[in-house]
Amino acid sequence: MQIGSAIAVSFEKLAAERKQLVQQIAVSIKKLLLELNPVMDFLCKYTCFRCENVCCDAQHVFYNEVDLFFFVGLGVSLPPFQTRANGFQIRCSYWVRNFGCLLERIFRPYVCTWFICERQLEILNETFNNRQKNYLEQLFCTIRRARLLLCSVFAENTRWK
Ligand code: SF4
Ligand code: SF4
């Protein structure tokens, strides 16, 4: 992905302490995302396999800049390609019939993780108590804040555009 390579080059040019900060934020985000895994796995387990309106067909789902800042900060390989070759492609290139998404959750665009569809929301409301729901809400909120911070630290100190 061309933009990903440009971001990676800019990251290498950051001052050592900025680089370290980006890495620390990325590691924190990873930990938070891993905490979300059991919940999202649970919700998907009871819904996705029989879904007739797969959300991976949403044409607007792409990796965004913050997703790429996150991967670069984490020091992992960038995704080999975007979710779609262009805005007209309907189904995501990482989606496989009878399996679903090929990517581990932390390597998907973040929108794929925070999206909870209507059916999943019903299950969540039926099975989770208020304390669990609050915890989940806090988790999403902390991830969102950490991503904003990552974006500001990265973008303020680089000129990758
Ligand atoms: S998250 Fe919801 S809309 Fe998306 S595939 Fe699963 S059941 Fe379908
Ligand atoms: S990356 Fe995975 S979860 Fe996200 S749209 Fe593509 S197939 Fe679906």
**Taking the alpha carbons of 86, 91, 92, 96 in that order, is the dihedral positive or negative?**
negative
Q: Which atom of ligand 2 is nearest to the CA of 54?
A: 8
Among all bound ligands, the one having the nearest atom to the CA of 92 is 2
- The Cα–Cα gap between 54 and 104 comes to 18
Alpha carbons within 13 A on the beta-carbon side of 31? 8
Residue 110 burial (CB count, 10 A) = 19
Residue 60: is it exposed, middle or buried by C-beta count within 10 angstroms (0-12/13-18/19+)?
exposed
Residue nearest to atom 6 of ligand 1 (CA): 48
CB 45 within 8 A of CB 75: no
Q: Atom 2 (ligand 2): residue with closest C-alpha?
A: 101
Spacing, Cα 59 to ligand 2 middle (Å): 11
Q: What is the pLDDT of residue 16?
A: 92
Task: Report DSSP letters for 100-145, one per residue.
Answer: EE-S-GGGS-HHHHH---HHHHHHHHHH--HHHHHHHHHHHHHHHH
Tokens 């670069």 found at: 72
Residue type, 151: C
Quick: pLDDT tens for 95-148. 998 889 999 999 999 999 999 999 999 999 999 999 999 999 999 999 999 999
pLDDT digits (tens, 9 = 90+) for 16-70: 999 999 999 999 999 999 999 999 999 999 999 889 899 999 888 999 999 999 9
Q: Which ligand is nearest to the CA of 56?
A: 2
